[in-house]
Chain A
């Protein structure tokens, strides 16, 4: 494990009332459980014993985070690509536009930011790892790393280059520190050569990294 992963592995080193689920699965190293794992386990057992939640509900919840939430963002943005009026509503109020599309973001409040030929947006949370989990699933390890969080705010172009994203100087790089109550998603530019594509096919281009703003969607589909 590299040194900055140490911070990414400590989901409880901040205390605040963000509505993210700190108890969603982490990749745990083998060995005795940490203090936080024991606390989390004890809390779950108490809640089950009191009939507040069932193990089945928790399992279902984890399943949603892994199998449904990660694909919501791409579907929303693909719809925005094909419907300019919807894109306007998404930019005006992300949470309301998602609800209109049938996606309830629960407690999350969402700001969509649009890439243009003049502006490129990239998202970070320098204080912890705030992330639109109800739209993109669990944040990747690099997003939570100290390396990304500390560097992308002051040398975004260098960090983007490491992701293979090279932006000319005439493009404004607009970094968003997701440091308080709002969550963010990037609306990338729709690639040329995708005219007439279905929303489903377009959604396939909208990978997690394109919606955080570290890469650009490519009109060549994988696989």
Chain B
């Protein structure tokens, strides 16, 4: 049963020392470590832009095994162009998909390729 009560009323948490800013181009690491990961396989290696910063949250990769999840990791929402994520995407170029990615799964994308810039 949920715990925590009304201590936190904001959806967002502070994100001290966050590495990326809204609008930054990023690439999701193409990495396949074992264990509990919240980064979907289909998005690994893909390029997108930071849509918003959600704050720092206990690391789910640690929580899953009974640890306390500290230090907390900064969580971002990242926007991707569907045509980039799925080369065979059967829809207009401007369709997008967004999801939450922890900072340690992201690296700067300096390839100059434009992805996820759709509205």
Q: Number of A-B pairs whose CB atoms are under 8 Å?
A: 128
A104-B5 Cα distance, complex, nearest whole Å: 8
A61-B3 Cα distance, complex, nearest whole Å: 13
Mark each residue of chain B from 62 to 76: 1 if its CB lies under 8 Å from any CB of chain A, else 0.
011100010000010
Q: How far is the CB of A30 from chain B (nearest CB, A)?
A: 27
Contact at A61–B1, with CB atoms within 8 Å?
yes
Interface residue from A14, A118, A174 paired with B98 (Cβ < 8 Å): A174
The interface on chain B, measured as residues whose beta carbon lies within 8 A of the other chain's beta carbons, has a size of 45
Mark each residue of chain A from 108 to 138: 1 if its CB lies under 8 Å from any CB of chain B, else 0.
1111000000110000001100000010000
Chain A residues within an 8 Å CB radius of B38: 16, 127, 179-180
- Asked if A1 is at the interface (CB within 8 A of a chain B CB), the reply is no
Contact at B40–A126, with CB atoms within 8 Å?
yes
Which residues of A (12-31) have their CB < 8 Å from a CB of B?
14-17, 19-21
Select from chain A the residue with minimum beta-carbon distance to B86: A154
Interface residue from B12, B58, B64 paired with A15 (Cβ < 8 Å): B64
Contact at B94–A172, with CB atoms within 8 Å?
yes
A180-B77 Cα distance, complex, nearest whole Å: 10
B interface, by DSSP: helix, strand, loop or mixed?
A: loop
Contact at A172–B118, with CB atoms within 8 Å?
yes
Select from chain B the residue with minimum beta-carbon distance to A20: B2
Q: Which of A72-80, A89-97, A201-209 lies at the interface with chain B?
A: A89-97
Sort chain A's interface into a size bin: 35 or more
Which residues of B (65-119) have their CB < 8 Å from a CB of A?
65, 69, 75, 77, 82, 85-86, 89-92, 94-102, 118-119
Which residues of A (147-187) have their CB < 8 Å from a CB of B?
153-158, 169-170, 172-182
Contact at A181–B54, with CB atoms within 8 Å?
yes
Q: How far is the CB of B31 from chain A (nearest CB, A)?
A: 16
Select from chain A the residue with minimum beta-carbon distance to B12: A93
State the B residues within 8 Å of A (CB). Answer: 1-6, 8-12, 36, 38-40, 42-43, 54, 57-58, 60, 63-65, 69, 75, 77, 82, 85-86, 89-92, 94-102, 118-119
- Going nearest first, the 8 A-B pairs with the smallest beta carbon separation are A180-B100, A177-B99, A95-B11, A109-B11, A17-B63, A19-B2, A106-B2, A175-B97
What are 19 of the A-B contact pairs (CB < 8 Å)?
Answer: A93-B10, A95-B8, A96-B10, A109-B12, A126-B40, A154-B86, A154-B89, A156-B95, A170-B92, A172-B95, A173-B95, A173-B96, A174-B98, A176-B99, A177-B98, A180-B57, A181-B57, A182-B11, A182-B75
